[in-house]
Amino acid sequence: MRCLRTTTLGYSPCPNDTFIFCGLVQGKIPLSHVCFAEPQLEDVETLNSWAMQGSLDVTKLSVHALGYLLDSYTLLDSGAALGRGCGPLLVTAQATAPQAKGDLAAWTIAIPGQYTTAALLLRLFLPKSCRTVVVMRFDQIMDAVVSGQVDAGVIIHESRFTYQERGLLCVQDLGVWWEQETGLPLPLGCIAARKDLATEVLRETEQAITESIRWGYAHLDECRSYIRQHAQEIDDKVLTSHINLYVNDFSLRLGEEGRAAIQELLRRGRAAGVFTIPLA
């Protein structure tokens, strides 16, 4: 293989990402121009922050974060987390259920990172009411809601499948709200690459991710151990549900509808003044 350069790679430890990249990082996908370094697996907000610094060549991003990075990163057509019925959930404790449709402006709401798509969706859903937010890791939010540290939280990833077991109530499925507002699938995450990478590297990376997804579907049993190594939940039903929800035809190829959904989310973010705010 003629390697043009060593390419750094980052994605989250969530089952959809480890499923997507399993074949690629385990050497199952032939490559001609790309040599990937050992991948960096971090929560998506950490990856968002690293991308703000240009730290990784190819990385998973929240679509929200992409809105700040269009000058330096290009959206790849493969590897996205985008679909219907897959949105973040605004949840509260059952004890506060009677006021769940009340004055949300008085609530303190936990969000899973400043640059996550969940944070942007909450702002679009509650443009005048979302006053007090607390940023915390996605896997700490349910505990914070249950303990009363916050009044509500926006949950993502595996939490979507387990929140009811913690006695929590869904106040609003933000994906349902988005689909009702726009008629489009919800764009949550994407794979982006630095614009200064060689054209051959960009093209082959995009194709390799598509082939890795196809390999994963054909070799799911071989993927399971790699997925379990990094997952918050190890129950097979939860893992399978997670992959089925977030990995789909849009992951293989965004296509016109997928790109339209991303453009619409970023357009609404700009209209709300989100992307005019300087980065810290």
- The pLDDT tens digits for 36-62 are 999 999 999 999 999 999 999 999 999
**Helical H segments across the chain, by residue range:** 15-25, 44-52, 63-66, 117-125, 141-147, 159-162, 174-182, 199-218, 220-230, 236-246, 249-252, 255-271
Catalytic site residue from 33, 64, 157, 242: 157
pLDDT mean over 61-89: 95
Between 138 and 278, whose confidence is greater?
138
Coil, helix or strand at residue 109 = strand
pLDDT mean over 15-33: 94
Inform me whether the pLDDT recorded for 161 exceeds 60: yes
Between 72 and 95, whose confidence is greater?
72
User: For residues 20 and 251, is the Cβ–Cβ distance under 8 A?
Assistant: yes
Between 236 and 90, whose confidence is greater?
90
Please determine, looking at this structure, whether the domain spanning 5-83+187-276 carries the CATH number 3.40.190.10: yes
Dihedral over Cα of 211, 216, 219, 222: its sign: positive
Query: Tokens at residue 24, please?
Result: 């690629």
**Helical H segments across 108-254, by residue range:** 117-125, 141-147, 159-162, 174-182, 199-218, 220-230, 236-246, 249-252
Inform me whether the pLDDT recorded for 153 exceeds 60: yes
Inform me whether the pLDDT recorded for 94 exceeds 90: no
Q: CA 11 to CA 42: how far, in whole Å?
A: 6
- State residue 233's pLDDT score: 61
Binding site for substrate, by residue number, is 60-62, 117-118
- Classify residue 55 by its DSSP letter: -
Indicate the domain borders of the chain. Answer: 5-83+187-276, 89-182
Fold classification of 89-182 (topology level): D-Maltodextrin-Binding Protein; domain 2 (3.40.190)
pLDDT mean over 75-86: 95
- State residue 48's pLDDT score: 96
Cα distances from 144 to residues 110, 112, 153, 181, 252, in angstroms, run: 8, 12, 8, 30, 36
Is 157 annotated as catalytic? yes
pLDDT-derived band at 184, boundaries 50, 70, 90: very high
Fold agreement (5-83+187-276, 89-182): yes
Between 228 and 237, whose confidence is greater?
228
**What's the chain's average pLDDT?**
90
